[in-house]
């Protein structure tokens, strides 16, 4: 768990390589690399370059607006923010227990969200790297290329995401930025027709999710060394687990393990998160760096998300996904894996679990009920935690007697992975870049490592998918030595200096 390569010892005189993933293009994040005269890597950093300040301007708003407002943090996982805020505000309105209908509608919405987000990430964004190869032709590396080469895979990806979005529409009222969840419960349940609509597709959905797990397993089997060794970043891990240690995306308590799988803490009430987690600010990124307080900045950083969750829980409470979890754990020899590419496998297991859970919930008559909201004794503070598609999401609010928010603290999933993503790209830079000339393929290797984490830089400002790249080598005095970019047809070109 080192911080090697984070800061060069003697930066003066080093050449700067900016992998400007998004700065002149999407405006959200970029990678910089410093090299010495022998092209040895001395420093690598992933910078998050956009700042929005949601935490501050939520202050002064009435609390009941918050679950709808905070969704605008992220259009990819809006339901996660909608529900994390609702859970925090359940405490404020004194809803210690939701009605069965409200709890199940929210779960249905959330598992729909996991399904659509995982399908989007795997099929639309990552599958081109995995199916065509990391340094395959740039012009093919997108969903259009997949549609041409693997039409059936592309079609299923689109339809899986569609199904997840339809579950969200039915439960939240709208596919993106719905309004279904309110402090204390939900404002609608599901009608019989809506249930029929979703039931019509659920069995096919479960089957396709099984096939997706099979596909990622085949890819691992084709190149086991790559999948095991690429960008490995050993760290602690954290996720919510349910009351019996089972995988649960909607509710539970915090569990953390060290890099060997040993328990660091368990059954922690998430309202006490602030006693366990602190955040460090670094001058070169707007995204903060969280760590476990007890283990300090250097050793206390951790990973969240599918890879953490699937290895952190004791079991998955649906049968098909549980079989897949066991196979995954066996494949890794019973020891925790820290390979970023294994995130994809874990993510597909979760995709299957989400589909199975939706199927079960659709057969539960509680989702048709009309007892929707509870309130009780008013409180001034609430913490809501949920497992968003990308990992643990923390929302924390204080509300005054005029119903206005006075404090808001958000730790979004991608932020937890900040250090891990930085470490992964340092590993990749060391392994593939050290001492070499830069190539387009190398740039994509760095992107592939970042992409494994499915970073939602919109939550921390989001960069969706295949990030366009430009690389510039500049000497310490700022003189451009060398530049590479991908041009319109994907070829790497070298503009004249």
Q: What is the closest distance, in whole angstroms, from the C-beta atom of residue 121 to ligand SF4 in the complex?
A: 18
Question: Which tokens is 268 given?
Answer: 């922690």
Q: Where are the beta strands (DSSP E) in 87-211?
A: 181-182, 185-186
Tell me whether residue 104 is exposed, middle or buried, using C-beta atoms within 10 angstroms of its C-beta: 0 to 12, 13 to 18, 19 or more. Answer: buried
Q: Under rule CB under 8 A, which residues in 277-306 are in contact with another protein?
A: 277-286, 288, 291, 297
Question: Which tokens is 408 given?
Answer: 């808001």
Query: Pick from ligand SF4, another protein, none: which does 47 bind, CB < 5 to 8 A by kind?
Result: another protein
Question: Which tokens is 315 given?
Answer: 């079991």
Q: What is the closest distance, in whole angstroms, from the C-beta atom of residue 127 to ligand SF4 in the complex?
A: 25
From CA 290, how far away is CA 415, in angstroms rounded? 7
- Considering only 15, 47, 107, 445, the residue that binds another protein (CB under 8 A) is 47
Stretch 84-123: interaction string toward another protein, x if CB under 8 A? ------------------------------------x---
Would you say 414 and 460 are in contact if contact means Cβ atoms under 8 Å apart?
A: yes
The residue among 79 and 339 lying less far from another protein, judged by its C-beta, is: 79
The residue among 225 and 477 lying less far from another protein, judged by its C-beta, is: 477
Query: Pick from another protein, ligand SF4, none: which does 490 bind, CB < 5 to 8 A by kind?
Result: another protein
Query: Pick from another protein, ligand SF4, none: which does 480 bind, CB < 5 to 8 A by kind?
Result: none
Would you say 90 and 391 are in contact if contact means Cβ atoms under 8 Å apart?
A: no
Identify the bridge partners of residue 236 per DSSP, sorted by sequence position: 302
Q: Is there binding between residue 75 and ligand SF4 (CB under 6 A)? A: yes
Name the residue number minimizing CB distance to ligand SF4: 72
**CA angle, 481 then 483 then 488, to 5°:** 165
The residue among 75 and 259 lying less far from ligand SF4, judged by its C-beta, is: 75
Rg (CA), the chain: 22
- Considering only 37, 56, 437, 494, the residue that binds another protein (CB under 8 A) is 56
Q: Is there binding between residue 177 and another protein (CB under 8 A)? A: yes
Span near another protein by CB under 8 A; candidates 251-259, 274-282, 331-339, 416-424: 274-282
Q: Is there binding between residue 72 and ligand SF4 (CB under 6 A)? A: yes
Q: Is there binding between residue 155 and ligand SF4 (CB under 6 A)? A: no
Pairing outcome for strands 480-486 and 470-474? antiparallel
Would you say 168 and 175 are in contact if contact means Cβ atoms under 8 Å apart?
A: yes
Q: Is there binding between residue 469 and another protein (CB under 8 A)? A: yes
Q: Could you tell me which of 81, 30, 128 has the C-alpha nearest to residue 422?
A: 30
- Which residues of this protein are in contact with ligand SF4, per CB under 6 A? 72, 75
């Amino acid at each position: 768990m080192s911080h090697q390569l984070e800061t060069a010892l003697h930066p003066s005189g080093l050449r700067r390589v900016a992998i400007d993933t998004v700065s002149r293009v999407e405006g959200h994040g970029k990678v910089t690399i410093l090299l010495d005269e022998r092209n040895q890597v001395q420093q690598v950093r992933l910078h998050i370059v956009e700042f929005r300040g949601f935490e501050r301007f939520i202050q002064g708003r009435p609390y009941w607006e918050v679950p709808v407002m905070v969704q605008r943090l992220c259009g990819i996982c809006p339901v996660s923010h909608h529900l994390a805020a609702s859970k925090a505000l359940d405490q404020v309105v004194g809803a210690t227990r939701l009605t069965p209908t409200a709890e199940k509608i929210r779960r249905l919405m959330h598992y729909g969200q996991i399904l659509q987000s995982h399908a989007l990430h795997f099929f639309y964004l990552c599958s081109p790297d995995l199916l065509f190869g990391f340094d395959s032709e740039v012009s093919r590396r997108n969903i259009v290329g997949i549609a041409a080469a693997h039409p059936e895979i592309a079609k299923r990806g689109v339809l899986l995401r569609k199904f997840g979005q339809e579950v969200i529409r039915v439960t939240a009222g709208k596919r993106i930025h719905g309004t279904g969840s309110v402090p204390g419960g939900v404002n609608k349940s599901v009608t019989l027709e809506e249930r029929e609509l979703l039931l019509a597709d659920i069995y096919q959905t479960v089957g396709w999710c099984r096939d997706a797990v099979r596909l990622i397993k085949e890819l691992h089997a084709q190149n086991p060394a790559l999948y095991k060794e690429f960008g490995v970043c050993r760290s602690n891990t954290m996720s919510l687990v349910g009351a019996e240690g089972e995988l649960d995306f909607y509710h539970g308590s915090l569990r953390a393990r060290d890099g060997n799988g040993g328990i660091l803490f368990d059954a922690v009430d998430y309202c006490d998160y602030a006693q366990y987690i602190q955040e460090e600010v670094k001058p070169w990124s707007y995204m903060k760096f969280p760590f476990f307080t007890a283990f300090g900045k250097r050793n206390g950083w951790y990973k969240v998300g599918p890879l953490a969750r699937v290895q952190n829980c004791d079991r998955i409470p649906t049968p098909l996904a549980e079989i897949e979890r066991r196979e995954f754990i066996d494949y890794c020899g019973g020891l925790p894996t820290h390979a970023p590419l294994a995130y994809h496998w874990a993510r597909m297991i979760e995709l299957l679990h989400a589909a199975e859970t939706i199927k079960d919930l659709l057969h539960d008559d509680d989702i048709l009920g009309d007892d929707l909201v509870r309130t009780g004794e008013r409180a001034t503070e609430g913490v809501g935690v949920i497992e968003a598609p990308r990992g643990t999401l923390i929302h924390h609010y204080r509300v005054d007697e005029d119903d206005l928010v006075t404090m808001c603290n958000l730790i979004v999933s991608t932020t937890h992975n900040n250090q891990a993503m930085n470490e992964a790209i340092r590993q990749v830079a060391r392994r593939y870049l050290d001492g070499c000339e830069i190539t387009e393929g190398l740039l994509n290797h760095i992107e592939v490592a970042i992409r494994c984490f499915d970073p939602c830089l919109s939550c921390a400002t989001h960069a969706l998918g295949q990030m366009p790249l430009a690389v510039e080598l500049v000497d310490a005095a700022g003189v451009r030595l060398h530049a590479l970019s991908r041009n319109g047809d994907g070829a790497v070109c070298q503009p004249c200096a």
